Amino acid sequence: MAPLVMGVLNVTPDSFSDGGRFVDPRRAVAHGLALAAEGADVVDVGGESTRPGAAPVDEAEELRRVLPVVEALAPHVRVSIDTTKAAVAAAALEAGATLVNDVSASLHDVAAAAGAGWVAMHRQGDPRSMQVAPAYDDVVADVVAFLVERAEAARQAGVTEVWVDPGIGFGKLARHNLLLLRHLDVLVATGLPVVVGTSRKSFLGALAGGTPPDDRLEGSLATAVVAMASGACMVRVHDVAATVQAARLVGDVAA
């Protein structure tokens, strides 16, 4: 089976690649529907940027951004809510989302209460500080151990659909990101379904000689293919149409 594609929909003024483009809810909904038409299996709605240095958003503002968009999209495509706030996750699930994409890896109780799926992502530090001096004894072993423990906690809380994500770019240097991609098989071998998000991230720009976020399609696709070929079951991307084609091809090769 082809890996799944999660399309990114940031309803934020300050996300690193598409900040400001979809703050107007009508434009956000139209973009979400376009991602679904391009073949996205899930549309990931987020109202707070997690980019390095991003300022926190208060709960009322985040709810105001995401709820109308979740409500409008949910009848048409599976919606995940990208948040670290329990109240935002709960309200989005109430509004029709069925998956909590949780970069804080702490909201499993909210997912359990709603019978929803949950993505646990690894990160080191918070957005303000995470890229200051990331350090690991063994980045692959540390990330895998953390995610296995989180998945176990979620299962015990009653979540039946648990995904794990190594958190590319979240408190990681370029070499940490490359090591996590190179050894993704270690995470895949846990048997937990793996999500990977490399799309347009800064290490791709750095490795390509300084390309801006909108000019990182090649690196985004290459790393998505590496992840899928290593066994990732889902990739989180901005460029859905191109990635869906790549995912189908990966599925055909693996069949």
| Positions in the binding site for ligand HH2 (CB under 6 A) | 8, 10, 12, 15-17, 46, 49-51, 82, 101, 103, 119, 121, 165, 167-168, 195, 197, 236
Cβ atoms of residues 57 and 48 within 8 Å: yes
Token output for 5 = 């594609």
Using CA atoms, how far apart are residues 88 and 59, in angstroms rounded to an integer?
7
We find the least distance from the C-beta atom of residue 75 to ligand HH2, in angstroms, to be 23
Using CA atoms, how far apart are residues 184 and 227, in angstroms rounded to an integer?
7
Alpha carbon 95 to chain centroid, angstroms: 20
User: In this complex, which beta carbon is closest to ligand HH2, that of residue 106 or of residue 253?
Assistant: 106
We find the least distance from the C-beta atom of residue 2 to ligand HH2, in angstroms, to be 19
User: In this complex, which beta carbon is closest to ligand HH2, that of residue 207 or of residue 253?
Assistant: 207
- List the beta bridge partners of residue 9: 45
Q: Per the residue annotation, which of 65, 200, 201, 216 is the catalytic one?
A: 201
236 among known catalytic residues: yes
We find the least distance from the C-beta atom of residue 19 to ligand HH2, in angstroms, to be 7
Using CA atoms, how far apart are residues 44 and 81, in angstroms rounded to an integer?
6
- List the beta bridge partners of residue 81: 45, 100
| Exposed e or buried b per residue across 87-123, where buried means at least 16 C-beta atoms within 10 angstroms of its C-beta | ebbbbbbebbbbbbbbbebebbbbbbebebbbbbbbb
We find the least distance from the C-beta atom of residue 237 to ligand HH2, in angstroms, to be 9
User: In this complex, which beta carbon is closest to ligand HH2, that of residue 62 or of residue 165?
Assistant: 165
User: In this complex, which beta carbon is closest to ligand HH2, that of residue 101 or of residue 253?
Assistant: 101
User: In this complex, which beta carbon is closest to ligand HH2, that of residue 180 or of residue 253?
Assistant: 180
E-assigned strands of the chain? 4-10, 42-46, 78-82, 99-102, 117-121, 162-165, 195-196, 234-237
User: Which residues are identified as catalytic?
Assistant: 201, 236
